[in-house]
């Protein structure tokens, strides 16, 4: 009998894609969770709305860790009156410096109607240059597909994330086509 290593026991999976295009931002996450070489769940929800439904977050990594981080981000949003930039910076600072939080194994995408950030435990708060951000095992495939679709089609943000995630799922064995998609529009200018 083969003994599993810590790496073998790790839960793999997740592709999260965020696209800002044509006045809207859409965030999609696949539903597959894989343990070693076995798919153990097909319909996990890795994308959700927080803070009065004004912020969409998605995660890659350990579920319990990500849910803890979602709660902490929402607390920061409450503390800073919904200012996503400030909340993300403060969460990343805490995540990097707190002894307990440093052990959390996840990466987050957080978007509102005007901002989009990748947040990591190493203190990164990165706003993508072109409004497209992919994370997780199939994130680079989904991001590349979305970039091509934004440049060469007339599709809306939601359709772009759907199609790009289908492409990622055809390449990445840790990504499936069972998607959770959330979408918000940009604030209207007065």
Contact 10, 61 (CB under 8 A): no
Q: Is 14 a catalytic residue?
A: yes
Catalytic residue among 14, 15, 34, 175: 14
As a whole number of Å, the end-to-end CA separation of the chain is 67
Question: With b meaning 16 or more CB within 10 Å and e meaning fewer, what string describes 22-46?
Answer: eeebbbbbbbbbbeeeeeeeeebeb
d(C-alpha 105, C-alpha 64), whole Å: 9
d(C-alpha 27, C-alpha 110), whole Å: 9
Q: How far is CA 135 from CA 19, 77, 188, in A?
A: 12, 22, 29
Active site residues: 14
């Amino acid at each position: 009998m083969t003994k599993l290593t810590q790496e073998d026991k790790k839960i793999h999976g997740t592709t999260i894609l965020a696209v800002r295009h044509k006045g809207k931002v859409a965030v999609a996450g696949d539903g597959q969770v894989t343990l070693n070489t076995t798919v153990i769940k097909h319909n996990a929800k890795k994308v959700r709305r927080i803070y009065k439904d004004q912020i969409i977050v998605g995660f890659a990594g350990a579920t319990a860790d990500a849910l803890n981080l979602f709660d902490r981000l929402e607390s920061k949003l409450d503390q800073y009156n919904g200012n996503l930039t400030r909340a993300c910076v403060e969460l990343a600072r805490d995540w990097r410096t707190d002894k307990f939080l440093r052990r959390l194994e996840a990466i987050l995408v957080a978007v509102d109607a005007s901002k989009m950030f990748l947040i990591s435990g190493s203190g990164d708060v990165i706003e993508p240059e072109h409004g497209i951000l992919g994370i997780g095992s199939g994130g680079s495939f989904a991001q590349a597909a979305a970039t091509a679709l934004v440049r060469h089609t007339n599709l809306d943000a939601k359709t772009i994330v759907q199609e790009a995630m289908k492409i990622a799922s055809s390449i990445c064995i840790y990504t499936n086509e069972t998607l959770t998609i959330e979408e918000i529009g940009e604030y209207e200018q007065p």
